[in-house]
Amino acid sequence: MASKSENTEQQELNAYDEKWQNPMKRPRLEKLVLNIGVGTGGEELERAAKVLESISGKTAKKTLSRKNVKEFNLRKGRPIGVKVTIRGKEAEELLKRILLVNNNRVKRSSFDDYGNFGFGIKEHISIPGVEYDNLIGIWGLDVVGRITRPGMRVKYRRVNKARIPKDHYVSHNEAQYFLEKFFNANIVEKLELDYF
């Protein structure tokens, strides 16, 4: 016999499927952002950019320091990292590849209430299809994804901007169910390393 919590959880999942029958309520992966924070410019930054370009096939963009931090020798406006944004079908295919690094597991605490999720990868060579290069070395990176519904552009467009109601954002439970259903992700409380 199923417990009360399992029954309410199943009802919530069925409610999402019913809600998604409406095309304006159906969530989608809007974008995936890969980021490497280097801390300095020069040759290290160029190697980090090559890593992101080899993973995504897109040109990496430099990120600039927003303020002066004397202890870290940072000056405002200097390049300190690289990032690349992938959208559409390419983002979906890349996310499927990247999820394989952690055996399709994502921590429950990696989600927020607005459809965003993120996690880190310690070694970029663990992503399937990426080869080790002696000249580049091994890099870690951050992966951030955004799940939205159609119509979110109303908030950002230049003319006739409007507020988006809270229920149009994708909640963390809905985002977790979306990844489970369409990307075969397992949502876990804690990531444990598997040793082969």
The per-residue pLDDT for range 113-167, each reduced to its tens digit, is 999 999 999 988 888 888 888 888 889 999 999 999 999 999 999 999 999 999 8
Return the pLDDT at 15.
84
Whole-angstrom Cα distance, residue 151 to residue 140?
34
* Backbone angle region of 120, left / alpha / beta, with phi > 0 → left and psi within -120 to 50 → alpha: beta
Return the pLDDT at 1.
47
Establish if 23 belongs to a structural domain: no
User: Could you tell me the pTM of the whole model?
Assistant: 0.85
Establish if 164 belongs to a structural domain: yes
Residue 119: CATH number of its domain: 3.30.1440.10
Return the pLDDT at 196.
45
Beta carbons of 98 and 127 less than 8 angstroms apart: yes
Beta bridge partners of 62: 82
Establish if 18 belongs to a structural domain: no
Given a cut of 70, the residues of the chain with pLDDT beneath it are 1-5, 193-196
> 95 is in which domain, residue-wise?
32-188
Establish if 135 belongs to a structural domain: yes
Establish if 136 belongs to a structural domain: yes
Nearest Cα neighbor of 85 from 56, 111, 48, 121 is 56
Beta carbons of 15 and 133 less than 8 angstroms apart: no
Q: How many angstroms separate the Cα of 84 from the Cα of each of 29, 53, 71, 73?
A: 16, 8, 28, 25
Return the pLDDT at 33.
96
Beta carbons of 181 and 189 less than 8 angstroms apart: no
Number of domains composing the chain: 1
Establish if 104 belongs to a structural domain: yes
Return the pLDDT at 4.
60
Residue in the block written with tokens 């979906």: 92
Do β-strands 61-64 and 79-87 pair in parallel, antiparallel, or remain unpaired? antiparallel
Establish if 78 belongs to a structural domain: yes
Q: How many angstroms separate the Cα of 114 from the Cα of each of 77, 117, 157, 183, 188?
A: 30, 9, 18, 19, 20
Nearest Cα neighbor of 164 from 105, 113, 126 is 113
Establish if 77 belongs to a structural domain: yes
